[in-house]
């Protein structure tokens, strides 16, 4: 934090449950990291603490020793990739789902179902995918290096997809 020049961080995540170097004892390593996260949270150095790429078995293991429930689980979610089991697990425990790669790292632009939907709502393909993510209850984290697209990706709050279209996008082939 000193090197970043900040007094506190908004959010801090364990990036992955079992990195290669801790494959044989990931439960123990995550429990230790989480204890440090909890201390930083209680000292108000970090506003929210969470995890990324955790599936239910990883969260179950963490919760054996955790005092504080993770506030966020950042996982890969976009139309056709819905990680239902993890999503249900997190919803039941009030863990916010952050959707990384919400445009499928660009893959959504090649999906044939997208253009007709974009035309139906008079929006771009990116906006359809990001609005879908919001309506699924996710917090989408699109990446763009282009200022025009960054604005486009934030203009999501003056239209709504129908429940049928949300369900159809969720059911697209992975
Ligand atoms: N926790 C994890 O393990 C994890 C893993 C992967 C990614 N992430 C995070 O998730 C975020 C996004 O992931 P991502 O970069 O994989 O994928 P993404 O946001 O799904 O897609 C990014 C790609 O879409 C393009 N794009 C963005 N907005 C667009 C628009 N409106 N129209 C057309 N093209 C558009 C970008 O190009 P331009 O830049 O040229 O616009 C880029 O090629 C990143 O911040 C990343 O750090 C987290």
Q: What is the mean pLDDT of residues 109-119?
A: 97
Nearest CA to ligand 1 atom 39: 144
For residue 79, the model assigns a pLDDT of 98
Decide: 115 and 143 in contact? Cβ < 8 Å: no
- pLDDT one-digit tens code per residue, 17-41: 998 888 899 999 999 999 999 999 9
Which pTM does this prediction carry?
0.96
CA of 138 to the centre of ligand 1 (A): 16
Nearest ligand 1 atom to alpha carbon 78 = 20
Q: Residue 106: CB within 6 Å of ligand 1?
A: yes
Is the predicted pLDDT of residue 174 greater than 90, yes or no?
A: no
- pLDDT one-digit tens code per residue, 58-92: 999 999 999 999 999 999 999 999 999 999 999 99
- For tokens 């909890």, name the residue: 38
Decide: 90 and 82 in contact? Cβ < 8 Å: no
Angle between helix axes 114-121 and 163-170 (nearest 10 degrees) is 160
Q: What share of the chain is helix, strand, coil (3-state, %, to 5)?
A: 45, 15, 35
Q: Residue 65: CB within 6 Å of ligand 1?
A: no
**pLDDT band (50, 70, 90) for residue 101:** very high
Q: Residue 143: CB within 6 Å of ligand 1?
A: yes
For residue 22, the model assigns a pLDDT of 86
Is the predicted pLDDT of residue 52 greater than 90, yes or no?
A: yes
Q: Residue 130: CB within 6 Å of ligand 1?
A: no
Q: Residue 74: CB within 6 Å of ligand 1?
A: yes
- Extended beta strands in 15-65, E state: 46-52
For residue 20, the model assigns a pLDDT of 87
Q: Residue 17: CB within 6 Å of ligand 1?
A: no
For residue 159, the model assigns a pLDDT of 98
Q: Residue 73: CB within 6 Å of ligand 1?
A: no
CA of 44 to the centre of ligand 1 (A): 30
CA of 163 to the centre of ligand 1 (A): 25
- pLDDT one-digit tens code per residue, 126-157: 999 999 999 999 999 999 999 999 999 999 99
Q: How crowded is the C-beta side of 60, counted as CA atoms within 13 Å?
A: 6
| More confident: 151 or 174 | 151
């Amino acid at each position: 934090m000193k090197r970043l020049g900040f007094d506190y961080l908004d959010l801090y995540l364990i990036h992955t449950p079992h990195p290669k170097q801790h494959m044989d004892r990931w439960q123990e390593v995550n429990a230790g990291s989480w204890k440090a996260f909890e201390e930083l949270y209680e000292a108000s150095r970090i506003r929210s603490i969470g995890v990324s790429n955790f599936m239910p078995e990883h969260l179950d293991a963490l919760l054996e020793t955790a005092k504080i429930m993770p506030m966020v689980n950042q996982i890969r979610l976009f139309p056709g990739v819905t990680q239902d089991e993890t999503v249900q697990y997190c919803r039941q425990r009030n863990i916010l789902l952050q959707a990384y790669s919400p445009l499928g790292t660009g893959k959504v632009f090649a999906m044939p179902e997208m253009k007709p939907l974009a035309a139906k709502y008079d929006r771009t393909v990116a906006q359809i995918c990001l609005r879908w993510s919001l309506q699924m209850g996710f917090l989408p984290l699109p990446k763009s290096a282009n200022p025009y697209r960054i604005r486009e990706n934030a203009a999501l709050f003056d239209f709504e997809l129908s429940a049928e279209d949300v369900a159809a996008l969720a059911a697209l082939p992975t």
